[in-house]
Amino acid sequence: MGARLRGALAALAVSGCALAGGAWAQSGGEGLAGTLKKVRDSGVVTLGVRDTAFPFSYALPSGRHVGYSVDLCLAIVEEIKSAIDRADVAVRLVALQSEQRIPAVKDGRVDLECGSTTNTQQRRQEVAFSPVIFVTGTKLMVRRDSGIRAWEQLRGRTVAASAGTTNEATMRALADKSAPDLKLLTRPDLRQAFEAFESGQADALASDEVLLLGLRARAKEPRALAVVGELLSFEPYGIAYRRDDPQLAQVVERSFRRLAESRELAWIYDQWFLRRLPGGEELKLRMGPQLTAIFEGLGLPP
């Protein structure tokens, strides 16, 4: 990993979590503001979750939402309880589609967005982000017998993608620059985009590599599907929360540093990417060097 990339990852690791100057009181709610005051007064913290962002945030057949990002958000909730000195805070979950994520954080419908959301410069103009929780990039899923192995082979063909995602933006940029006859088919969420691909409405599905691997692991015929090509984008995920909320930023930063220093951050990663999951799936995705460097920067022992 080059020095420039290490510097970029280090910056992303703390983007949105700069500590504000000055102390604020925790006892009795004095000095609280923003999201922490809202949670203290209402006794409720609201998490935005996804139905199909496996294994980050998804619904089990029972309807219960679980996942790597959900566990990280629940750890932040514990830190919020400590910060506001209130142990009886209830957690409310709101299921969001891709296009709803950022607006829901901005308008206060959710306090933390717990999904597979890329920290981009454009999004940082609207919301803040936790330290990076995962690093991936846009790839393509195709039928193994299609002969497609790179995006250049999709000229004149149809690619499905989830609306409002960086993957959609990546494919539109490629089409505008190099493949004007590439057709893009968008659906409200990844599951619907996958179903369009699976039914033959599209020749490929564009999404983050880790999400495609998750879809393949849960598919009826996983061996018939292939995730191919080079990474077409750089996608560092984070937990989104409202901008200009320095007290919440401190809590989020403190949560991640404590998780890293105690090694719980690595344990949560292993739980969702190396071990057998609630539905019996196994991804077997070891932590890559980029994410390892980020977590060690937060205090994870080498």
Domain boundaries, the chain: 3-135+237-298, 138-228
Q: May I ask the CATH class of domain 3-135+237-298?
A: alpha beta
Identify residue 3 by its one-letter amino acid code: A
Per-residue pLDDT at 26 exceeds 90: no
Whether the domain at 3-135+237-298 and the domain at 138-228 fall into the same CATH topology: yes
Distance in angstroms (rounded) separating the CA atoms of residues 204 and 277: 27
The confidence band for 9, taking pLDDT boundaries of 50, 70 and 90, is low
Task: Count the Cβ atoms, other than its own, within 10 Å of residue 121.
Answer: 7
Tokens of 171: 């494919």
3-state helix, strand, coil in the chain (%, to 5): 45, 20, 35
DSSP annotation of 263: T
Distance in angstroms (rounded) separating the CA atoms of residues 265 and 69: 11
The confidence band for 20, taking pLDDT boundaries of 50, 70 and 90, is very low
Q: Which residue in 35, 65, 58, 198 sits closest to 116, CA to CA? A: 58
Distance in angstroms (rounded) separating the CA atoms of residues 159 and 154: 8
- Are 302 and 292 in contact, with CB atoms under 8 Å apart? no
The region, left, alpha or beta by phi > 0 then psi within -120 to 50, assigned to residue 135 is beta
Distance in angstroms (rounded) separating the CA atoms of residues 68 and 186: 26
Q: Is 23 exposed, middle or buried (0-12, 13-18, 19+ CB in 10 A)?
A: exposed
Integer angstrom CA distances of residue 219 from 111, 114, 159: 33, 24, 19
Tokens of 29: 């709610």
Per-residue pLDDT at 3 exceeds 60: no
The confidence band for 287, taking pLDDT boundaries of 50, 70 and 90, is very high
Distance in angstroms (rounded) separating the CA atoms of residues 68 and 264: 12
The overall average pLDDT reported for the chain is: 91
Give the homologous superfamily in CATH for domain 138-228: Periplasmic binding protein-like II (3.40.190.10)
Task: Count the Cβ atoms, other than its own, within 10 Å of residue 27.
Answer: 8
Distance in angstroms (rounded) separating the CA atoms of residues 191 and 219: 11
What value does the mean pLDDT take over residues 218-246? 96
Please tell me the total number of residues recorded for the chain in this structure. 302
Pairing of strands 158-162, 204-208: parallel
Q: Which residue has the higher pLDDT, 27 or 64?
A: 64
For 76, half-sphere exposure in the C-beta direction (CA atoms, 13 angstrom radius) is 33
Distance in angstroms (rounded) separating the CA atoms of residues 148 and 158: 12
Per-residue pLDDT at 214 exceeds 90: yes
Give the model confidence (pLDDT) of 80-118 as tens digits: 999 999 999 999 999 999 999 999 999 999 999 999 999
- Are 190 and 207 in contact, with CB atoms under 8 Å apart? yes
Task: Count the Cβ atoms, other than its own, within 10 Å of residue 15.
Answer: 18
Q: Which residue has the higher pLDDT, 249 or 7?
A: 249
Give the model confidence (pLDDT) of 184-196 as tens digits: 999 999 999 999 9
The confidence band for 5, taking pLDDT boundaries of 50, 70 and 90, is very low
What value does the mean pLDDT take over residues 28-44? 91
Alpha-helical segments (H) within the chain = 3-14, 34-42, 68-84, 101-106, 121-124, 166-178, 190-198, 209-218, 246-261, 264-273, 289-298
Give the model confidence (pLDDT) of 122-151 as tens digits: 999 999 999 999 999 999 999 999 999 999
